[in-house]
């Protein structure tokens, strides 16, 4: 089955700790995205990558970092500099033939 997977489903972070959210896709899509969703709000773009070894900051990149070493993988690290990390994190990849994005199941990050 083709799709996007994210892990873990729930993640707990202690103060001062960096945590990494995993995103993997087997859709052979070049472009991948990370969004943050807060309760009652829309999706805000954190980072995106159009191709391997390249990525760009989105609207709210501060306190986050990414890498894109493989086409299939686009992990997001939430650093200790992100003071309010509690949110629902969504990874997506873009189908270039339909110009649309498909989402993984999401990771809910909570602060202890």
Kindly list the residues in this chain that would bind other proteins in the complex (CB under 8 A). Answer: 31, 33, 40-43, 45, 48, 50, 90, 94, 96, 98-106
- Nearest to other proteins of 15, 99 (CB atom): 99
- Nearest to other proteins of 1, 99 (CB atom): 99
For the record, the structure tokens of 68 come out as: 């894109």
b/e map of 69-93 (b: 16 or more CB within 10 Å)? eebbebbbebeeebeebebebbbbb
Strands 54-57 and 43-51, by their bridges, are antiparallel
Least Å distance, CB 80 to other proteins, is: 26
Least Å distance, CB 15 to other proteins, is: 26
């Amino acid at each position: 089955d083709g799709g996007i997977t994210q892990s873990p489903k729930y993640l707990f972070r202690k103060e001062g700790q960096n945590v990494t959210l995993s995103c993997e896709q087997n859709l052979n899509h070049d472009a991948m995205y990370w969004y943050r969703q807060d309760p009652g709000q829309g999706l805000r773009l954190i980072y995106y990558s159009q191709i391997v070894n390249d990525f760009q900051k989105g609207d709210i990149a501060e306190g986050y970092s990414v890498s894109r070493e493989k086409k299939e993988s686009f992990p997001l690290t939430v650093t200790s500099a992100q003071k309010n990390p509690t949110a629902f994190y969504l990874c997506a990849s873009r189908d270039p033939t339909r110009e649309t994005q498909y989402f993984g199941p999401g990771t809910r990050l909570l602060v202890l």
